[in-house]
Amino acid sequence: MGGSAQFVTHRRAVAGAVFVTVSAGVTAWALAYPAAPLAPALARALADGAAVLTLGLAVVPALDTGRHRDELIRTARAPLVVAAAIWLVTELVRLVLATAEATGTDVTSLGARTVVAFTMDTAPGRAGLVTVVAAGAVGVIASLAPRSVPVCVVAAGLAGIGVVGHPLTGHLSLSAWGGVAIAVHALAAALWCGVLAALVLTVDHRGQWARLLPRFSQLSLVCVAVLLAAGVLGAAVVLRSPVDLYATGYGRVLTAKVVLTVVLVVLAWRNRSSWLPAARAHRATSVVSRARAYTELGLMAVTLAAAATLAVTG
């Protein structure tokens, strides 16, 4: 695929992901209404999406070996810089909106001193600061540091810290088990979704799909097992009664997220049974593999938007 055609394809994929995320965020907000504010929910959804992609682009070279890994590191560099920059900007927006909500102040009336005070004096603010620093650090490393395996490891570690920053101060933060469960759940989901998104942005040839998809499939099995176990533990901590699953805004969004996750796992298993053997045997073209990935990623974006809305639902 030519460079310009590849750029257009990737730009359309990113635009489609943003559209799906925003649409799903609005739908999740409607389910939670009036328990969730719309602007913070959308900002959280976009920031989480950028964080997931950043983590995936930092991790994806680990799926390859030798000179192929070096090539993947170079290919992932530009998308990683862009993803980290978007993550940084959306996290700053999210931090401002969180300040406005916590202080009961209109966004247009907020002063820098108020934002700084919220950032430094509250747990959600400090978590936001950690995430902003992580996003900025990944962007700087991706832009300036020589691309190598150790640099990728550092970038992936920083991105992982940023991903778990918010969950550790959310609804389950008062419970030691709940806080750990939701952080592990978020990290496993981010790895699963982010690495697949990174494959779409960095893999263009049938041979690459044949080499990398089996390794991604092994990673995704572990991620799915971990996120399901951690998700069940987290839900058990926060829900007081099964009635809450439909009687509260939080419960309705959680129910939608559970249904989406089940559908996503079924789709992923179906792809593992059909797409994976075809790709491994070089029978699936890059166009077919990308189309399969788009379907799975679209559902992932909807699920992540539901999770983001869940995080800001009172």
3-state secondary structure of 34: coil
Q: Report the interhelical angle of 206-238 vs 249-280 (nearest 10°).
A: 160
Domains and CATH numbers, the chain: 3-311 (1.20.1630)
What is the spatial distance between Cα 219 and Cα 201, in angstroms, rounded to a whole number? 18
> What would the 3-class secondary structure string for 247-293 be?
HCHHHHHHHHHHHHHHHHHHHHHHHHHHHHHHHHCCCCCHHHHHHHH
Q: What is the pLDDT along the chain (314 residues), one digit of tens a residue?
A: 455 556 666 677 778 888 888 888 888 888 877 777 888 888 888 999 999 999 999 999 999 988 889 899 999 999 999 999 999 999 999 999 999 988 888 888 888 999 999 999 988 898 899 999 999 999 999 999 888 888 999 999 999 999 988 776 655 555 666 678 888 989 999 999 999 999 999 998 888 999 999 999 999 999 999 999 988 887 777 777 777 777 777 778 888 888 999 999 999 999 889 999 999 999 988 889 988 999 999 999 989 888 888 777 75
Q: Which of 87, 116, 84 is nearest to 103 (CA)?
A: 116
pLDDT at 220: 94
pLDDT at 169: 65
The two tokens of residue 269 are: 């298993």
What is the spatial distance between Cα 232 and Cα 182, in angstroms, rounded to a whole number? 10
pLDDT at 57: 96
